[in-house]
Amino acid sequence: MDQNEKKRLAATAAIDHVEEGMLIGVGTGSTVNFFIDALGAMKRSIRGAVSSSEASTSRLAGLGIEVVELNEAGTLDIYVDGADEADPNLHLIKGGGGALTREKIVAAASQKFVCIIDDSKLVDVLGQFPLPVEVIPMARSYVGRQLVAAGGQPELRTGFVTDNGNQIIDVHNLRLSDAAAMETRLNQIAGVVSVGIFAQRPADLLLIGADNGVRSMGPTSTQVAPDSPLARTE
């Protein structure tokens, strides 16, 4: 089974957590695109969606799903998003697509955070994937020096501007054995807008697409059999 099919399985499994009348937070990325496509079939039974990026907003609107501004929505029932890495504590690295700040805001505003990934994203310790840090442009050199002091190797993501008009520094070689402590430390650097560590607000449920179906990690762990409706390939 290829990686895209595993992503599709996880995204389809997330639809089971969407109920009639819900207001849905929607993340960004290739796995989330599968979720958005599946959500289109439910557009008349949900109240709408709050999007974490311009790209997801466009995809949702193209399917006829009402997109609501977070300031008007209040607390969201559920947030569904992918991750670049996830560990057994449901801590995440996110921001490979550059939408980490808005993703973190929508996650914080949601009662439940369901994270959908393929099994290549599950790691024992976060940090193999370079950590995205969104920074105010005038602060990028200062922030870079502070990231070196924290033990990382910062690299400016050239030619990229976030939806908020800021820049991204990708930090290599940070082994996040205490992800929550590092999140707190980096958030305190002047000029940092947001850090791509989701440990202060981790996922509530992780849905992992794999060769043998969808596995969940959270309050309980279950295995979806390949012949389950969640594992259909058509």
For residues 209 and 101, what is the distance between their CA atoms, to the nearest angstrom? Answer: 26
Among 69, 72, 85, 103, which one carries the catalytic annotation? Answer: 103
Element (H, E) at 39: helix 30-39
54 belongs to the catalytic site: no
Which bin fits 220, alpha (ψ -120 to 50), beta or left (φ > 0)?
beta
From the list 131, 137, 105, the residue with the least C-alpha distance to 186 is 131
From the list 83, 88, 79, the residue with the least C-alpha distance to 100 is 83
DSSP 8-state secondary structure symbol assigned to residue 157: -
Residue 178 backbone dihedrals phi, psi, to 5 degrees: -125, 80
Active site positions, annotated: 103
